[in-house]
């Protein structure tokens, strides 16, 4: 997926208000904190996030935090949208995704997406030990989810970083997705903004995990460039 002109322009500046709002939405959804998710969703919609984008983000939550957290978060979004409609607030509907490949074409698309996002083919002893998880990652996460074109890859990575920073015990995955975020064209400065958003809109522990992972990611990137 090529970056749009809008994404290329955004890569030279800070995150937009809508992009920043993704982080607390997915963090609180992953943690299952409905009162704080409610507040984050209201702020996101006020910042210009469409209802469709909010739904897509909360659907993606299940890939990292499970179906229960995703379903509960979508139910909270329904309540927020209904309450805003009753007050006469008109939020943008957003757009529906285009068709996603099926069968072997889905595996090929997912593999290509994973390779592009990760910067190279993903393989290793874990995937030899449990090939089913390799197939699920390629066909489902990077296929069914990342092939849906109603949300750009930068937004999906901001969402993923928000979730993984909020959760404990997933530091290696957080660092991997910070690398992927850089591969989508997000800058080190924009990812530093994500840390700041976590500190101000989520909690200090999430921000600290993200800061540690970002520092390691950038150090490794600098070492590889030497």
Q: pLDDT digits over 33-63, tens only?
A: 999 999 999 999 999 999 999 999 999 999 9
Contact criterion met (CB below 8 Å) for 192 and 214: yes
Which pLDDT belongs to residue 12?
54
From the CA atom positions of the chain, what is the Rg in Å?
17
Structure tokens at 175: 């660092």
Contact criterion met (CB below 8 Å) for 147 and 188: no
> How far is residue 218 from each of residues 60, 154, 177, 190, 202, measured CA to CA in Å?
26, 18, 12, 13, 23
Domains of the chain with CATH codes: 14-98+148-225 (1.20.1290.10), 101-147 (no CATH)
Long-range contacts of 178-183 (CB under 8 A, 24+ apart): 178/210, 178/213, 178/214, 178/217, 179/118, 179/119, 179/217, 179/221, 180/117, 180/118, 181/154, 181/157, 182/217, 182/221, 183/116, 183/117, 183/118, 183/119
Contact criterion met (CB below 8 Å) for 61 and 141: no
Q: Does residue 17 surpass a pLDDT of 70?
A: yes
Q: Which helix (H) or strand (E) holds 173?
A: helix 171-183
For the chain, what's the residue count?
226
The angle subtended at Cα 200 by Cα 14 and Cα 177, nearest 5°, is 60
Which pLDDT belongs to residue 181?
98
Q: What is the pLDDT of residues 62-81, one digit of tens each?
A: 999 999 999 999 999 999 99
**What is the C-alpha end-to-end distance of the chain, expressed in Å?**
28
Global pTM reads 0.92
């Amino acid at each position: 997926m090529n970056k749009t002109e809008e994404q290329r322009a955004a890569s030279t500046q800070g995150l937009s208000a809508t992009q920043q709002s993704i982080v607390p939405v997915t963090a609180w959804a992953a943690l299952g904190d409905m009162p704080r998710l409610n507040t984050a969703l209201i702020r996101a919609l006020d910042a210009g996030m469409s209802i469709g984008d909010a739904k897509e983000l909360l659907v993606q939550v299940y890939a990292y935090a499970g179906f229960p957290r995703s379903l509960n978060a979508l139910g909270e979004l329904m309540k927020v949208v209904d309450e805003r409609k009753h007050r006469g607030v008109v939020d943008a509907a957003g757009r529906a995704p285009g068709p996603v490949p099926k069968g072997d074409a889905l595996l090929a698309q997912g593999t290509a997406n994973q390779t592009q996002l990760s910067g190279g083919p993903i393989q290793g002893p874990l995937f030899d030990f449990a090939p089913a998880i390799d197939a699920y990652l390629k066909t489902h996460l990077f296929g069914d989810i990342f092939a849906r074109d109603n949300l750009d890859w930068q937004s999906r990575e901001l969402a993923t970083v928000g979730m993984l920073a909020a959760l404990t015990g997933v530091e290696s995955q957080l660092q991997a997705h910070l690398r992927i975020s850089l591969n989508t064209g997000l800058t080190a400065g924009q990812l530093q903004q994500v840390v700041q958003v976590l500190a101000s809109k989520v909690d200090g522990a999430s921000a600290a995990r993200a800061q540690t992972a970002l520092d390691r990611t950038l150090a490794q990137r600098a070492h590889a460039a030497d």
